[in-house]
Structure 1
Amino acid sequence: MKSWKADSDCCSWDGVTCDPENGHVVGLNLTNSWLNGRLNSNSTLFSLRHLHKLNLALNNFSSSTIPSQFGHLARLTHLNLSRSFLSGQIPSEISWLSNLVSLDLSYNYFKYFVGGPDDFKDLNLRRIDLEALVQNMTYLRELHLDEVNISSSLPQSLANLSSLTSLSLSWGSLLGEFPSNTFVLPKIQAIDLTYNEDLAGFLPKFRSVLPWKNMISLDLRSNKLQGSLPIPPLSTQYFFASNNNLTGRIPSLICKVNSLQVLDLSNNHLIGQIPQCLGNFSSSLSVLNMRSNNFQGILPETFIKGSSLRTLDVSLNRIEGKIPRSLVKCRLLEVLNLGNNIMNDIFPFWLESLPELKILILRANGFQGPIWDSHTNFGFSKLHVIDLSHNNFSGRLPSEYFKTWNAMLMVHGKINSKPEYMADHSGYYEDSITVMNKGLEMELVKILTIFIAIDLSNNRFCGEIPNTMGNLKELIVLNLSRNSFTGPIPSSFGNLIELQSLDLSQNKFLGEIPQQLISLTFLAYLNLSQNQLIGPIPQGGQFWTFQSSSFEGNLELCGSPLLMKCENNETPISTLSYESSFGEGFNWKAVVIGYACGLVIGLLIGHVVISRRAHWFMKTFRVKLHR
């Protein structure tokens, strides 16, 4: 703290607020101040008995416990200790702070290690201390305990906090039934109960207590809430009820909530038809996610001009019929996921006119016919992911088709860029998709904006692959397996410098494997099996790491890792191998052995981490693996 000088008035220091009448320090805001070290009970902080507001968020207190001396700061109205690497049991003395209006102890879950195995630290709150907190802090307006390990049911007295406007208890290991009267507190504006997988109960019939004017966000994701879907208060802008056990139909009254910007009901057991009015009930609706339910019938055909719709996800249902042409009016649409339904239509060429479309998933339906037309303009300039797998699409891929896919053509300078995810502009919702990557089906709980993928597998495409596909330098995943492609593998694939997963298996590719593929330094998965390839397998680069299964079913291929030797022992090796600066005695065999050992050890460690720390793995990497 540069401004904190002993010879100056402390009331002039950064983050310090004093009472103008008596000079007492009444406010201390040291958020994100690079404070390091333990928070000790004898700190002079606890001598500031006139403090009203204290914010120590976003610092590093080195896994300290919260000192009980906080309970002596009796005048505190605001206390924020979030994201500060605190751990251990929250002291019961915190409940003495009966004047608190805002309490935030959230997000102190972290990985901690000292010369041994990794450990995971968090704050713990006993049931008896939670009850005391709720009973004594009657003025509370904000209570944020995200990632605080509560591991018990919530006291019914929570519903007595009549001034409460914001309640956040995500990732708290809550048990039992949630006190339903809390939902109808008179001033409540935001409730977040996400990821309490053992939290059960029924949602109240909100419409019976209308009118409400305060509720803005209701986030109930990933619990065990059950019963029929309630209609949230008319003022609600963000309603998340995904990953629960909700049943029954969506009441048409949902369309009365025309302030909604995000409606996410995915991964429940809802039935019936998606109400037609959801296409036009609100010009402010940005996200409509009905993924993985038991919906039937056709999609709404009433999408309107001026729509704000950015994400439409109805995948994993039993939707039938055709893609509604009224979607062309949704000029802001970025994500269209219709995968895993029973729709029957031709390729929607007209979608090329949507200027913002980034994700197009039509996988596992009954779509058929070619995916291009001589009268189309070859749009899709912002497309990041296209998944047409498991349909009956047919025909050739024209060379002009990929020339306008600008988002896949450009190189964005990823090394120095900060990771960004696809999300609505409010930040409340992040898109997710399921993709085949490196031979595994993965659910990307968050989608990096740099993730670029094409999956045309399991169709009836034929003909040669156009060389222009090799210009899509941003591609990370390319899957053309299980089609009838023929001709040589384009040597231009050597230009796909970001490629990590390439699957060309079960086609009719001819000729030799292009030497240019050796230059793909990020290629971690390769499957060329069950084709008609011939000649020597390239040696060097990532090809050292691939197993024989990557090449099996090509009877005239030879060379490592296959047992079949090439004639005259001539196997082409990348010239890079001979340009090493390590000297004449450098042994590439040692590199391969070391790489293989490292790979095996890495896989074993990864398996242990994922199996034993699945909770942490999902929270950190936002990826779910499906076996």
Structure 2
Amino acid sequence: MSNSIFLFFFSIFYISSTSSSSTSINTTHKCSVQQTLSLLQFKQNLSSINSSIDDTYYSPCADWLGSGYNPIMMNWKTSTDCCDWNGVTCDHSTGDVISLDLSCGMVQGTIHPHTTLFHLPHLQRLNLAYNDFTNSQLPADIGRLSKSLTHLNISNCGFNGKVPTDISHLHKLVSLDLSLNWNGTDFLKLEPHVFINLLQNSTVMEQLSLEYVNISSVLPTNLNISSSSSLKLLNLGSTGLQGNLPHNIFSLQSLETLDLSDNSLTGHIPSEISLLPKMVTLDLSYNGMDNLLIQPHIFRTLLTNSTFLRDLWVGEVKIALVLPTYLNISSSLRSLRLPSTSLQGKLPDNIFNLEYLEVLDLSGNNNLSGPFPKVNTSSSIPLTSLKSLYLSDCGLNGSLPKSLGNLKYLEYLYLSNNKFQGNMPLELFSLQSLKRLSLANNQLTGQIDMLDNGPILQTFQRLTNLTGLDLSYNNFRGDWELDALSSSLTNLESLVLSYSGISVTTSNASRYVNLGFRVLSLASCSLKVFPVSIRAMTHLEKLDMSNNDIQGHIPDWIGEIGNRLFVLNLANNSLTGIIPNVYKDWSLLTGLILNGNQLEGKVPTSLNKCQRLMVIDLGNNQLSDTFPSWLGDLPNLKVLVLRSNNFHGAIVTSSKVEFPFQHLQVLDLSDNGFVGQLPTKYFQNFNAMKNVL
């Protein structure tokens, strides 16, 4: 049906359906026939994303909006005024559509080059964020909205191709967000000259977010932006920018948020960085170690003189500062992130007494030394602010002080990869706000019980908000019962006890309370049986129960756990029987490690469904099979270990692909019964092995 015929019949229906309700003159105008038609035709090309979207464990919309997804176009019907439709806002004095907000609307489909959205001549705000428009391109006709559009947000939508040149013609744009558009292969591209024009021509632009938009350009020495520019937010994180930082980027007097992280920027950060009068958030992190430098005196000035600075993140920017005994920073600072910045010396005595600081990250500064500072309780400062503390890989030593328990609002505590010794202080269990605790890879000792028998709780049972616990690679003692632990800590998602010294048992009860585990790492925990409770862990992403004494068969229900599973490691146990052929649904699996058992039979053919597999280690078993040449079809396979089994026969090339084992870097077929020669075709295709250092 042509647009004109559709419009004719729709007009008749629209007039008849509204005339009966309009018995008196109303000062509020209804949506026009033409604009209603434009919205309905836009909807025709779209559908609703399956309502089974699981945002329980990860929902960007929940993080962004505080709520999950919502099928927003469900009430778009001809029987109601379009000004009353979800996501549509009209100018009630004219009836014109001025805003369309479909963010997190569960919308899926293709936006065509001549979309009817451009038939809304008064559209000021267009928000399509967090929907699925994969294989769509931002239409070249976007410039048709140059007289009206002030806000455009297409972030997290799957758009691909190039951003059209005409986007720089939208002179009224106040806010533009093109960030995080990934179609499964490439990010959205923005030509460097379009980017420069966008910066220079949008004189009223206040917010420009291009995070993960592929610009891939060397920055000019002068961006030619007026210091009186209206820009308040400039996010150029992960855009492939290269070269030295233009000095005039730090002369933008209105700038409040600047993100240049995750690029390949070089040179010294200019002294003008400490003169931005309204700067609130600054992120220069991860531009390549030793590429981007900031002089210590400039950094100290930035810390002390920035009146409004709340969030500072300069990870992997070389500062090379010897920390003073007393840290003097602006009272406005809430978040200070300095990972891997070559800091030296001891942690300042007052580092935990900074009144308003909520996040402190000094991880990766392995030239730091000395003990963990005491938390001064005699200070008049209430110590109510610090919520996140990251001190992993810092070279710290000594014992953990009892005063650690005074940081009572702490939610995230990461102290892994240091040299801490002694017992874990019981005061740590008073931090009832704690969500994540990592003490991995230290030299901590002592008895740690999971459950209390007495009336006063002094163990992990008190930490009911805990979602992640990592005690691996220490010298603790204790016997933990897995089912009791999951019943007690019902929010726990990640449990890492590998090589911690703690023994784990299981009652194999038939009722399970916590089904939310995503990471379960119990290597070398003296396990004797395969825990049945794992069967209910449908969100599992990593399962490591290697180096135990688990006996019996790999259960047939193993395929039921995690369609999200990335790694399964059952190496060095006493498992017998065959490897179940149940892996067709493990589309995300990258590592299968079963070496060092007593497994028999053949390699399960359902592994050819696991297209992301990178590592398969079946060595040191009793498998009896011919060479599984079909593994050559796996496009990402890098490591294949079949050593010390009963494989036999000639190695044949029956792969369906032209170049089998194209990315293979390690192949171990030793100590088997193979005969004949390794096919020349394989040697010709082992190109990845030539590049292994």
1:494–1:519 Cα contact (<8 Å) kept: no
Q: Which of 166, 171, 188 is the aligned partner of 1:93?
A: 166
Q: Structure 1 length as normaliser, TM-score?
A: 0.68
- Aligned CA RMSD, in angstroms, stands at 4.2
Tell me the matched-pair count.
Answer: 503
- SS of 2:224's partner is helix
Q: Which of 627, 630, 635 is the aligned partner of 1:605?
A: 635
Q: Which of 537, 550, 568 is the aligned partner of 1:524?
A: 568
1:285–1:308 Cα contact (<8 Å) kept: yes
Distance 2:202 2:611 in 1: 54
The match for 1:137 is 202
Judged with a 3 Å threshold, the aligned counterparts in structure 2 of structure 1 residues 184 and 389 are, in CA distance, closer, same or farther, namely: same
The match for 1:109 is 182
Judged with a 3 Å threshold, the aligned counterparts in structure 2 of structure 1 residues 289 and 520 are, in CA distance, closer, same or farther, namely: farther
- Give the deviation of 1:281 after TM superposition: 0.9
1:84 and 2:130 matched: no
Deviations 1:2-33 (A, max 9, x none): 66566876555554444455555444444455
1:340 and 2:417 matched: yes
- Bigger relative CO (Cα 8 Å, ≥ 6 apart): 1
- Give the deviation of 1:377 after TM superposition: 4.7
Judged with a 3 Å threshold, the aligned counterparts in structure 2 of structure 1 residues 608 and 125 are, in CA distance, closer, same or farther, namely: farther
1:200 and 2:266 matched: yes
Distance 1:495 1:404 in 2: 7
Deviations 1:183-221 (A, max 9, x none): 45322222222322x1234334478527x4x43322333
Distance 1:67 1:478 in 2: 48
The match for 1:539 is 577
1:150 and 2:205 matched: no
- Give the deviation of 1:516 after TM superposition: 8.3
The within-5 A match list for 1:471-486 is 476-479=519-522, 481=524
Judged with a 3 Å threshold, the aligned counterparts in structure 2 of structure 1 residues 144 and 492 are, in CA distance, closer, same or farther, namely: closer
1:385–1:454 Cα contact (<8 Å) kept: no
Judged with a 3 Å threshold, the aligned counterparts in structure 2 of structure 1 residues 297 and 204 are, in CA distance, closer, same or farther, namely: farther
Distance 1:54 1:386 in 2: 43
The match for 1:115 is none
Distance 2:94 2:173 in 1: 22
Q: Structure 2 length as normaliser, TM-score?
A: 0.62
Judged with a 3 Å threshold, the aligned counterparts in structure 2 of structure 1 residues 597 and 59 are, in CA distance, closer, same or farther, namely: closer
514-523 vs 357-366, which moves further: 514-523
The match for 1:583 is none
Deviations 1:69-113 (A, max 9, x none): 2223232222223333322222222212222211222222221xx
The within-5 A match list for 1:458-497 is 465=503, 467=505, 476-479=519-522, 481=524, 490-491=528-529, 493=531, 497=535
1:379 and 2:438 matched: no
- Give the deviation of 1:329 after TM superposition: 0.8
Distance 1:345 1:54 in 2: 58
Distance 1:140 1:175 in 2: 24
Q: Which of 345, 352, 366 is the aligned partner of 1:272?
A: 345
Judged with a 3 Å threshold, the aligned counterparts in structure 2 of structure 1 residues 4 and 495 are, in CA distance, closer, same or farther, namely: closer
1:106–1:148 Cα contact (<8 Å) kept: yes
1:244–1:267 Cα contact (<8 Å) kept: yes
310-319 vs 20-29, which moves further: 20-29
Distance 1:94 1:63 in 2: 19
218-227 vs 314-323, which moves further: 218-227
Judged with a 3 Å threshold, the aligned counterparts in structure 2 of structure 1 residues 160 and 95 are, in CA distance, closer, same or farther, namely: farther
Judged with a 3 Å threshold, the aligned counterparts in structure 2 of structure 1 residues 357 and 516 are, in CA distance, closer, same or farther, namely: farther
- Give the deviation of 1:167 after TM superposition: 1.2
- Give the deviation of 1:403 after TM superposition: 9.1
The match for 2:64 is none
Distance 1:2 1:256 in 2: 52
The match for 2:672 is none
Identity %: 30
Q: Which of 240, 244, 260 is the aligned partner of 1:177?
A: 244
Distance 2:315 2:210 in 1: 21
Distance 2:162 2:611 in 1: 39
Judged with a 3 Å threshold, the aligned counterparts in structure 2 of structure 1 residues 450 and 480 are, in CA distance, closer, same or farther, namely: closer
Q: Which of 250, 254, 275 is the aligned partner of 1:187?
A: 254
Judged with a 3 Å threshold, the aligned counterparts in structure 2 of structure 1 residues 504 and 60 are, in CA distance, closer, same or farther, namely: closer
Distance 1:526 1:403 in 2: 17
1:349–1:371 Cα contact (<8 Å) kept: no
1:72 and 2:144 matched: yes
- SS of 1:133's partner is helix
2:426–2:459 Cα contact (<8 Å) kept: no
- Give the deviation of 1:280 after TM superposition: 0.5
The within-5 A match list for 1:225-624 is 225-228=292-295, 230=299, 231-232=302-303, 233-250=306-323, 255-282=328-355, 284-293=356-365, 294-302=367-375, 306-371=383-448, 377-381=457-461, 382=463, 383=466, 385-391=468-474, 393=475, 396-397=477-478, 399=479, 406-407=485-486, 409=488, 450-457=493-500, 465=503, 467=505, 476-479=519-522, 481=524, 490-491=528-529, 493=531, 497=535, 498=537, 500-504=543-547, 514-515=551-552, 518=555, 521=558, 524-528=568-572, 538-539=576-577, 549-551=595-597, 560-561=599-600, 593-595=604-606, 602-603=613-614, 604-607=634-637
232-241 vs 469-478, which moves further: 469-478
Counterpart of 1:152, as a letter, is S
1:380–1:404 Cα contact (<8 Å) kept: no
* Alignment gaps of 5+ in structure 1: 112-119, 413-448, 552-558, 562-588, 613-626
The match for 2:647 is none
Counterpart of 1:524, as a letter, is L
The match for 1:127 is 192
Judged with a 3 Å threshold, the aligned counterparts in structure 2 of structure 1 residues 101 and 596 are, in CA distance, closer, same or farther, namely: closer
Judged with a 3 Å threshold, the aligned counterparts in structure 2 of structure 1 residues 350 and 19 are, in CA distance, closer, same or farther, namely: closer
120-129 vs 353-362, which moves further: 353-362
Deviations 1:204-261 (A, max 9, x none): 4478527x4x433223332233224623524222222223344323567864333333
- Give the deviation of 1:543 after TM superposition: 11
* Alignment gaps of 5+ in structure 2: 1-72, 562-566, 584-591, 615-633, 640-661, 664-692
Counterpart of 1:539, as a letter, is G
1:501–1:525 Cα contact (<8 Å) kept: yes
Judged with a 3 Å threshold, the aligned counterparts in structure 2 of structure 1 residues 174 and 408 are, in CA distance, closer, same or farther, namely: farther
- Give the deviation of 1:601 after TM superposition: 8.1
1:134–1:161 Cα contact (<8 Å) kept: no
Distance 1:14 1:544 in 2: 44
Judged with a 3 Å threshold, the aligned counterparts in structure 2 of structure 1 residues 541 and 358 are, in CA distance, closer, same or farther, namely: farther
